[in-house]
Amino acid sequence: MPPIIISPLIKFAIGVAGAGVAMVWAAREMRRLSEELERAKAASALDPTTRKALPTLRRDPRTGEWRIV
């Protein structure tokens, strides 16, 4: 089978389209992560009495696994 010859202009267009898709994906991920961090900040801003009522994780000294205390 002979090699497929593609014009440099078409290669460039495919590269630009791929870069555009990658940038859209990266921007969407950054927005998602920022929203997740904002939710975590809001949850940590609870008053101390409410915060103490939430479960915490502690490492089990025998197994090394994290457990809810």
Residues 55, 56, 60, 61, CA torsion sign: negative
Residue 46 has a pLDDT of 67
Q: How many domains does the chain have?
A: 1
Note down the domain range covering 39. 8-68
How much is the pTM?
Answer: 0.55
User: Is residue 3 a part of any domain in this protein?
Assistant: no
Residue 13 forms part of a structural domain:
yes
- pLDDT of 14 reads 96
Handedness of CA 49, 52, 53, 54 (dihedral sign): positive
Residue 17 within any structural domain of the chain: yes
The confidence score (pLDDT) of residue 33 equals 95
Alpha-carbon distances of 29 from 36, 37, 38, 40, 67, rounded to whole Å = 11, 12, 14, 17, 30
Averages of pLDDT over each 10 residues, the chain, 69 residues: 84 97 98 92 73 82 88
pLDDT at 4: 82
